[in-house]
């Protein structure tokens, strides 16, 4: 490694708004993040699934009416 061209790799702290602090090593001294693995809904099991039932049926009903109104062309 060449001397003087590499950044300093030192102890670092990652601080989340929920209060979780993670000690690690990085070239940046401190990080402040909005969400971490301790408070993210996917990792905590509190993830709420969006109910998408009925969207396909609603789409088919909406466009089925339009296709019935317009006669099909024979392409001649």
Judge whether 18 is annotated as a binding position.
Answer: yes
In 13-48, which positions are buried (b, 16+ CB within 10 angstroms) versus exposed (e)? ebebeeeeeeeeeeeeeeeeeeebeebeeeeeeeee
Judge whether 47 is annotated as a binding position.
Answer: no
Judge whether 36 is annotated as a binding position.
Answer: yes
Residue 73: DSSP 8-state: P
Judge whether 17 is annotated as a binding position.
Answer: no
Q: Which residues are annotated as a binding site for Zn(2+)?
A: 16, 18, 36, 39
Binding site residue list: 16, 18, 36, 39
């Amino acid at each position: 490694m060449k001397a003087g061209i590499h950044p300093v790799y030192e102890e670092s702290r990652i601080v989340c708004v929920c209060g979780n602090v993670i000690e690690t090593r990085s070239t940046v001294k401190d990080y402040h993040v909005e969400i971490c693995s301790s408070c993210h809904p996917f990792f905590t099991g509190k993830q709420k699934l969006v109910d998408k039932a009925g969207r396909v049926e609603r789409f088919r009903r909406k466009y089925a009416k339009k296709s019935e109104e317009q006669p099909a062309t024979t392409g001649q």
